[in-house]
Structure formats: C-alpha cells, structure tokens
Structure 1
Amino acid sequence: MKKRMLVLLSLVLALSAFLAACGNGDSGSKDEASQDLRLNIRSEPFSLNPGLANDSTSSNVLLQTFEGLTRIDKDGEPEEAMAESYTVSDDQLTYTFKIRDDANWSNGDPVTAEDFVYAWKWALDPNNQSQYAYQLYYVKGAEAANTGEGKLDDVGVKAVDDKTLEVTLVNPTPYFTQLTAFYTYFPVNSKIASENPDWYKDSGDDYVSNGPFKMTEWNHSESIKLEKNDTYWDADTVKLATVEYSMIDDAATARSMYENDELDWNGLPFDTVSTDAIKALKDSGELKTQATAGTYWYKFNTEVKPLNNVHIRKALTYAIDRQSIVDQITQGGQIPAMAAVPPTMFSENEKGYFKDNDVETAKAELQKGLEELGYKDVSELPTITLSYNTDEAHAKIAQAVQDMWKKNLGIDVTLGNEEWAVYIDKLHSGDYQIGRMGWLGDFNDAINFLELYRDKDGGNNDTNWENAEFKQLLNDSQKETDTAKRQQMLKDAEAILMDELPIAPIYFYTNVWVQKDNLKDVVVSGLGDAQLKWAHFE
C-alpha cells in the first residue's frame, strides 16, 4: 500500500503492533467527555470501495469503516472479526468461516456469506479493473477469472448458507488469515451494490459499511467525517464518537493546525511531519518513531527510452546518495535501501545488493547504456522527467536526486508533481518515465513486495517489466512447503529484481509522528497502518 515509512529495531517484526498511547506530545485541550478525533489524510482517497482501493490514503479510511473475516489485533496477530470461528481442512486448502449472527451493516442489514462472495468476485471481474485483484489469487480459480482465462463462477468461494463461507485455496497458505484482514477481502453489501453500481462514490444512504465507524459526510477533496457505527458487533469497545479527516497536502499547514489544536495527530501513517520540524521535535522528545515494513522507491517505465535500457537504470540507481537523503531530508531514522524487501523480513537487506552512492560504477553503467542506445553522450538522451505526488518531503527528495544525477552523471532531469489521485492514475496507466512510489507490507511475508512485479500487467507493477525466471521463482515459492527453501526462492527472485532494476530503492520507511497526550490506544502496526477501533481520549 503506497506512500509509506522505517527505523530497524531488531525486536520488531513486520506484524508487531505499537500502541500509540504514551506521549510527550502537546497536551490536548479536549474536554474529558469529548471523543472527537481530528486527523489529516492529505488528499482525496483513490477509492473508498474496498475492491478498488490500492493506497494508504484509502486504507486509512477503510480500516475504520469496514471489517473482514479477520482483523489484525493489538499484538499484530489475526483474530476473528466478521467470522466468529473458522476451520481448516486437513490438506490446508479449504477454510470454512462462520459469520457472526450479530454481524450487521450500518443500515441494519445482516452481513452474509454472499456479501463476501459478491465482493471478491467483483474485484476479480476484469471489467472492474481492480489494481489489487491479484491479492485474491490465493483463492482457487481467482487468477484465471481475473485474466479472462476462466469464469467467475469457478472461483473457489461460495456461500454454503447465509452465515457460512467456504473458501478453497490453490496452495496451502499459512498467512491466509492475515490476508482476510486486508481490505481487498472486505465484504460489500451485495444488495445495495448490485442495485447501485456507484454506491461507493459518495456518502449517503447507500454507502453502508460493517466496521467500527460509518461515513456520514464526504466533502470531496476537503474532508470526510466518520461516526461510531452502533450496529457494529463489537460497538461497546468503540469509544470515539467521531473521526474527522481533513485533506491538507501541505505539511507546514498541517503542522500549524496541530500546534493550534485543530488536529490531534501529525505524521504517519495519516499524513507527514514537516521535515523542517523534525529536528526540533526530536530534541524536545515529542517525536515518536516506529519501525515499519516498507520501502520508498522510484519506478522506471521500462518501455520508454532511455529507461528501457538496464544500464541506464543501473546508472541512475547507483548514482543516488541515500545516506544523505535520510540524514538531511527525512531525518526519521530511515535506513538507505539497496534492496526491495525491508530488513524486518530479510535482515541481510540492511546491507543490500549494491553500494550506496557508487558514482564510479554508475558512470561505467551509463557509458554502456549510451553505447547500446547509440548515443554519443548524455546530451543526446531524450528528456527524462521524475514525477512525484505533491508533498513537501517528496519534493525535497526529488530535488536532491535531480542534483545528484546532474552532478554525478551529467544528466538533466525535469521534475513534475500532481495531486495524489491524478498522480496514481497516471502511474497505473503508464503515463510517466520515473515515478515516486513506496510500498508497505500488506501482510508479513516477503512475497508481498516481490509479487508486485510478477506480471507486466499486474495491478501495481506500473514499470512494464516482466522476467520469466523471476515469475517462476515466485510461482514455485507459493507451492513450496519447506520454509528455508521457500525463503531462498524469494531471495533469488529479489536478486533478479535488483539486477534488472525496474525500480530504484531509496530508503526503508519509518513511521514518524506526534500526538496529543490524552489520545490513547491508536494502534499503529508494524506494517504501517493504523486502527482506531480501540482509540479514545482521556
């Protein structure tokens, strides 16, 4: 999930959860009885349909308004949610979930097994162009249905009765109950969705959800308001009355709002702390930093000259001084990334596959690339544009990299930026050359970072890169039951990715934020998302 941030703590696993309860932040001015939380999510969500969402902005809303068969608990482990229980067959291929009798939609309709069947098949329908449909490929027949080679009727998910859902997998998948907590696996109200295909585009009577909160207002590109969902099966646990999201994409403005008691949280995973404020916040002890399984990287469109040449991609990748970026710009304990999978999953990746700021090798690769492309020197290279979504930190990093490429390689690069929804749409449609992106783990397994690039036309690939050996290793890893052998397959696949470099890793993320002293129990996971189910003010 995208726009994401890491300080490597040896005892923190990717699914460890952190309770954002202690704090040296500014004390809030809220009355004791007030349970109204104010957050900033920077921009309009890409989509608030669980089957279309593919970014952290959308996720920050959906994780509060919807709920899957399972939920990741405070300790980072999957627990029963919409499902009160489940059983697994002896061959580990069939999961049977029993849905709670008191599982209801926010309009009072019961949540049924058919709501899950409908939602999953909707996401898999190629006509709906779900970027995250591949997350459902663990289900038998899902990939074939999504690629058009099979039928939706053959997908291995069925409603045995109103409250019993049976799921058949392609291979044994030990982390499947982690996946069912992810938003692509969330249900939708099948009755409403079948009658109104645009149900998710605005707030109103048809936007119903089944999580701790319900959306009551959506002022597009300005704000979203959530209210406690009294029909939620575990409503007694929910203490917040409302959650209001602002959409302020300027970090300095958001910082001022926090200081003026207009926001209760400033920083990840909702928005970002202004880079100009980080040092002072560190020195004061207010800043909180948490390890996160995520990687910030640049994507190369490998079908556009000169980025179709691997040596040019290597030159640009090797000529970046990552240490200076994390020391002078991000300043949140991030680790320079010379690998794709974060060290919380592959510990050796703290070192990576190549040297940071290796200008000598970068120049040699540049020369090889120029010769292969038939260019006399860099002056003959086509114009290269580095794009990013509007954000203070992204802009500073892009400007720094632009200077590095000019200084180290003599390559002039132009910069371009756009608001998130427009930017991500352009990336997905291939309308870019080099684009900023990042990835936070959706579940605690390295394949989540690698499978992005398995298929050229994969929903979140964007690079147009594909490699048969890489793809085969990933496919084989999903069938391998020996943990050590499977781990090696994934490492071998990553080595191919880091040799051909359709992406240039920049750093491993951290979550960095400040919060009001009286705000308790916001659960920020090791995967970089946040849950508000348990949050409250004291």
Structure 2
Amino acid sequence: MKKWVATTTAILMVLSMVLLAACGKDGSNAMAEKQVLNVGFISSEPPALDPLKGTDEISSLIMRHVLEGLVRLDEKGNPIPGMATKWDVMDGGKKIIFHLRDAKWSNGDPVTAQDFEYQWKRMLDPKNASEYAYQLFYLKNGEAYNQGKAKAEDVGVKALDPKTLEVTLESPTPYFISLTAFHALFPVNKKVAEKNPKWGTDAKTYVGNGPFLLKTWIHDKKIELVKNPKYWDAKNVKLTQINFPFIGDEQTEYQMYVSGSLDMNRNVPTDLAAKLLQEKKAKVIHQPSLYFYIFNTKKKPFDNAKIRKAFSMAIDREAIVKNVLGQGQTPATGWVPWGIPDFAQNKEWVQTHPSYIQPKANPAEAKKLLQEGMKEAGLSQLPEISIMYNTHEGHKKIAEAIQQMWKKNLGVDVKLTNLEWKVFLDNQTQGNFLVSRLGWIPDYMDPMTFLDLWVTGGGNNHAKYSNPQYDALIKQAKSTADQKVRMEAMHKAEEILARDVPVTPIYNYTQVYQLKDYVKGVKIEADGSFTFTYAYLTEK
C-alpha cells in the first residue's frame, strides 16, 4: 500500500474519509436483511496472504481484513487502538511500550506480545529474504540482524509478558506508531506458523485475528471472507460476508456492476469514465500514489544513466494522461507524488521542489543523450528493448503509447511483454526485465515511504540502483525527528534520483469508481486503502 499496485488506478484520498452513499429509495436507512457485500476489486490472484511475503495492494487488501496490527488509523490517518489499547512513548521517542487487549486468534488462541515479537523477527531473519524487512530497520539492531551482523535477541522488540510489547528504535521515528497499522507489521500466530510454514496459503489452515475470516480461497477464481465472531469489536461489524471474485477484464467487471452482481466497481473502463462521471454514475478521487517505469540498472543498455535519461525524456506524459487515461490524472513532475506532505513547509511535497520532469517529451535532447550514452557504453547499437507489464488493459494502452513515443522520438523498436500478476512480480524480484511498469501506494503518509525504496540492497529496489550519496541522505533523514532536517535530506535525495533516473515517473493516480447507493460506511484511508470493516448494506 503502500505496495505494488496491480492496476492503472487505485483508490485514494489525501485525507481519510468514509464513503456514505445516499439513502435508499424509500428515504430510509433501514438495514438490509442480507449483509453480503460483492466487491469488484481484485483483477488476479493475490500472491501472498502471509505478512512475511505480501508486498502488493491485492494481498494487503485481504490481510487488512483478516489480520490486525497494534494500531489502526482513524479518518485523519492518526493511530487509534487496534490490538494495543494504549502505548507509552519514552526516551525521547526511542522506546515505545504497547499494552495489548484481550483478543483471540480465529482458532481460539490468545493474541500475545510474543506473536508480534516472533513475526517482526521473522520478517528480519535473513533466511526468509522478506522484501519488506527494511520497514523494521527502525528497530534497534533490526538492520544489523537482517545483514547477519547481530543476533535475534539483540533486536529492539521484546515481549515483556503476554500483554506487553517493548519496542526500542535506533532513532526517534515520528511515524513508527502509524507504521504498525501496515500489513508488514501485523502479527502471526507463533504456534501455527512454527508448526506449518505454509499456513497462509490455504483457507483451511489460515488463522487470523482480524474482523473477518478467510472462508474460501479458490486460487485464480475468488476469495470469500466471513465475519469473525472472535474479533474484539465483532459487535460493530455488520457485514456477514464479503465476496471478492477475481475479474481480469474491465468491461466484464463493469457489466457485473450494472447487472447487480457487484456492489462496487473500481475498474471503470477508460472509454466509459468521462461519460459516467458526467452522468454522475461514477465518482473520481485523487490518490497520493505514483505510476512509473523502472529501468534495470544492472543490464545493458540501462546501466548507463544518460541512456536511462534519454528514454525518460522521450515520454510525453501530458499526452498519456490526456489521450490514454483521461480520468483527471496529472503528469508526474518528480518521484514523490501529489498528496504527500512536506512537514517542514506545511505544504504538499510537489509544491516545495522544482519540476524534475517535464510533462512533454523533448525529442532533440533525448536523441542527443542517447547518442552520448551509447558512446560512453561502447555500444554501436542497442540490444532489443522490451517493456514488461502485468496483464491489464490500462497497462497495455500505456505501454503501447510509450512504445510509439520511443519509436518516434528515439528511433528505437520496442517489444511488449505482458504477464499474469504473480508471475510478473516474480520476474521483477528476480531482475528478469529491462523496463517494467509499477505503481506505488504509500505505506504511511511521509515522503520516506517513496524515497527509501531505492537504497542499496533495498527489498523493493528492483531497479538494483545504488548510490552511496543517496543512501547517506536517506540514513540522515531516518536518524532524526527534526522535520526540517528530514525534509531537506529527502529533497536532496530526490534530486539525485532525478539525475540518475533509475525510475521514470509517469503520472499521479486518480480513481474512477462506482458504489451502489445502498452501501454505507466504506472507508478510504489516507494512503488510499479500502477498509470494509464497518461497511453495511441498507434496503435497496
């Protein structure tokens, strides 16, 4: 989430909100007898429902409903009690004591502080190679343990007793408490995970502590959740079931919504979006998220910065958002997208730096840089260039547009390769690509969630980018709670990204979605994530 994004659009708001649709046709808000919600959200199989392995928005969506962390986030994005009823901040912010409530796992076991300690160290264990391990480098000796330079018992997380968790940080981290609402920091049942390492791959073995249970998981077809009677706040959960069919086609999903098979559609076909918005049959919201292409900096020709920059400058982002998308997106002008705050200047980040990327292509300069880069790299001609994207009509249209731009503006022939979501992510992780699309939703509302992606050796650094100066600036920003120092260091880091171009931002996200009037209480978090915990249906 915040995670790799599977579609060209993803739901968001800069401020969290609850979607309260209009009253039923009779003007009442009477509860419907049947509280079953059918959601058009998932385009393909979620790769993982174990916090150790999940890195994408689809996996995160399901995990947010079947698991729960120490805190949740309120409508303004502030932490509120989850598994922890309260927390004490000590030692200038370097130590936090979380006090857990009496809660149970779905198999009846008590949720304990040991479950959190176990899972966080499991994330950091170098043998597990978790891509999200870096989100726990904030813990004292967390990074050292992950690099084999410290022992598990040296890590700054300790269960003092079954209901008390002590967390010690390397440095004061203003957003750490909020970060515990992120799925990578969710607990797992220690006894279950130790007995069956594959517990998270099947509904029959899945054990959670969230508001819903994983009732059905038919791979490549659907997921069904049912209300968890053991959830600590079950009395306020009104839905009895949530159905997530896997729908890989926008037109199919739209027709299912129109026919009444779905209560929500978040993949509105691009060619229908403007008409539906005009007729007020759909809504659009902005999201603090970014659509971008990454270059594999370890493979020729993209091991050369000038060649990367040439390909970036040959993209007409203005034409893409206007002619290909047309849903209110804006061309990206830097790496951190709209909606993310600059805490030192009390403005949006995008308002506090120059435009590193121009909306329109610059063919003349791009050709010049390409020639210079090829000369530097000793290349008389380019190898075959390919763009990899996951199967989705929107990604295909964008890839085709960029393919044409690179042909027109650089004279380069480009091959397109589309893969199913899980296979696509595997190829990214293994570095089996030259150019690939991605989307990133923030893990928390701070520029760091975008900028620490590209540190040397980072779990999600699929560009394989490395720059010691960049690493030092990110480390500096993470070593202090002084917002002025933090923001200044991160602005300098973004300048380096703009110079080195391991990634090339394309546009800032919007989402056109449809929601039936009788669906109430669907919450959209500050990071753009859906939460259906307190949703309910009224009479139609």
Give the whole-Å Cα distance in 1 for the aligned partners of 2:288 and 2:22. Answer: 23
Give the alignment of 1:125-164 within 5 angstroms: 125-164=125-164
Shift of 1:220: 0.5
Shift of 1:263: 1.1
Which amino acid counterpart does residue 303 of structure 1 have in structure 2?
Answer: K
Give the whole-Å Cα distance in 2 for the aligned partners of 1:504 and 1:375. Answer: 22
Judging changes above 3 Å, is the alpha-carbon distance between structure 1 residues 106 and 37 closer, same or farther for their aligned structure 2 residues? same
Q: Which SS does the other structure have where 2:85 is aligned?
A: strand
Instruction: Show the counterpart of 1:75.
Output: 76
* Alignment of 1:385 onto 2:386: yes
Shift of 1:19: 1.5
Instruction: Show the counterpart of 1:402.
Output: 403
Judging changes above 3 Å, is the alpha-carbon distance between structure 1 residues 88 and 434 closer, same or farther for their aligned structure 2 residues? same
Give the alignment of 1:26-425 within 5 angstroms: 32-40=32-40, 41-101=42-102, 103-204=103-204, 206-267=205-266, 272-345=267-340, 346-348=349-351, 352-356=355-359, 357-376=361-380, 380-425=381-426
Q: Which SS does the other structure have where 2:108 is aligned?
A: coil
Is 2:11–2:528's contact at 8 Å kept on the other side of the alignment? Answer: no
Which amino acid counterpart does residue 226 of structure 2 have in structure 1?
Answer: E
Is 1:5–1:334's contact at 8 Å kept on the other side of the alignment? Answer: no
Is 1:51–1:183's contact at 8 Å kept on the other side of the alignment? Answer: no
Give the alignment of 1:455-494 within 5 angstroms: 455=456, 457-494=457-494
Instruction: Show the counterpart of 1:444.
Output: 445
Q: Which SS does the other structure have where 2:290 is aligned?
A: strand
> Bigger CA drift: 188-197 or 74-83?
74-83
Instruction: Show the counterpart of 2:346.
Output: none
Shift of 1:42: 0.8
Shift of 1:24: 11
Shift of 1:350: 8.6
Shift of 1:237: 1.3
Shift of 1:8: 13
Give the whole-Å Cα distance in 2 for the aligned partners of 1:37 and 1:349. Answer: 42
Shift of 1:373: 2.4
Give the whole-Å Cα distance in 1 for the aligned partners of 2:526 and 2:272. Answer: 24
Is 1:25–1:287's contact at 8 Å kept on the other side of the alignment? Answer: no
Q: What is the TM-score normalised by the length of structure 2?
A: 0.93
Give the whole-Å Cα distance in 2 for the aligned partners of 1:8 and 1:220. Answer: 24
Q: Which SS does the other structure have where 2:92 is aligned?
A: coil
Q: Which SS does the other structure have where 2:271 is aligned?
A: coil
Give the whole-Å Cα distance in 2 for the aligned partners of 1:435 and 1:349. Answer: 29
Q: Which SS does the other structure have where 1:494 is aligned?
A: helix
> Bigger CA drift: 469-478 or 34-43?
34-43
Judging changes above 3 Å, is the alpha-carbon distance between structure 1 residues 23 and 382 closer, same or farther for their aligned structure 2 residues? farther
Superposed CA deviations along residues 115-159 of structure 1, whole A, max 9, x for unmatched, are: 001111111111112111111111111111112222112111111
Judging changes above 3 Å, is the alpha-carbon distance between structure 1 residues 349 and 303 closer, same or farther for their aligned structure 2 residues? farther
Superposed CA deviations along residues 311-364 of structure 1, whole A, max 9, x for unmatched, are: 111111011111111112222211101311013221327962032222222122
Is 1:17–1:525's contact at 8 Å kept on the other side of the alignment? Answer: yes
Shift of 1:75: 2.9
Percent identical pairs in the alignment equals 42
Q: Which SS does the other structure have where 1:285 is aligned?
A: coil
Give the whole-Å Cα distance in 2 for the aligned partners of 1:367 and 1:145. Answer: 45
Q: Which SS does the other structure have where 1:91 is aligned?
A: helix
Is 2:11–2:529's contact at 8 Å kept on the other side of the alignment? Answer: no
Shift of 1:526: 2.9
Is 1:71–1:78's contact at 8 Å kept on the other side of the alignment? Answer: yes
Q: Which SS does the other structure have where 2:91 is aligned?
A: coil
Shift of 1:61: 0.4
Give the whole-Å Cα distance in 1 for the aligned partners of 2:25 and 2:509. Answer: 25
Is 1:297–1:436's contact at 8 Å kept on the other side of the alignment? Answer: yes
Judging changes above 3 Å, is the alpha-carbon distance between structure 1 residues 240 and 439 closer, same or farther for their aligned structure 2 residues? same
Judging changes above 3 Å, is the alpha-carbon distance between structure 1 residues 208 and 185 closer, same or farther for their aligned structure 2 residues? same
Superposed CA deviations along residues 392-430 of structure 1, whole A, max 9, x for unmatched, are: 100000000000000111010100001100000100110
Superposed CA deviations along residues 477-503 of structure 1, whole A, max 9, x for unmatched, are: 112332122111100000001110000
Superposed CA deviations along residues 440-470 of structure 1, whole A, max 9, x for unmatched, are: 1110110110100012x21111011110000
> Bigger CA drift: 325-334 or 242-251?
325-334
Give the whole-Å Cα distance in 1 for the aligned partners of 2:23 and 2:61. Answer: 24
Superposed CA deviations along residues 492-538 of structure 1, whole A, max 9, x for unmatched, are: 00000111000010001123211111111111123111111111111
Judging changes above 3 Å, is the alpha-carbon distance between structure 1 residues 169 and 428 closer, same or farther for their aligned structure 2 residues? same
Shift of 1:25: 12
Give the whole-Å Cα distance in 2 for the aligned partners of 1:219 and 1:316. Answer: 41
Q: Which SS does the other structure have where 1:320 is aligned?
A: coil
Shift of 1:74: 2.6
Q: What is the TM-score normalised by the length of structure 1?
A: 0.94
Q: Which runs of 5+ in 2 are unaligned?
A: 341-348
Superposed CA deviations along residues 216-270 of structure 1, whole A, max 9, x for unmatched, are: 1110010011000010001111111101111111111111111111111111xxx
Is 2:315–2:402's contact at 8 Å kept on the other side of the alignment? Answer: yes
Is 2:8–2:394's contact at 8 Å kept on the other side of the alignment? Answer: no
Superposed CA deviations along residues 38-75 of structure 1, whole A, max 9, x for unmatched, are: 12311111100012100001011011111000001233
> Bigger CA drift: 38-47 or 214-223?
38-47
Judging changes above 3 Å, is the alpha-carbon distance between structure 1 residues 478 and 466 closer, same or farther for their aligned structure 2 residues? same
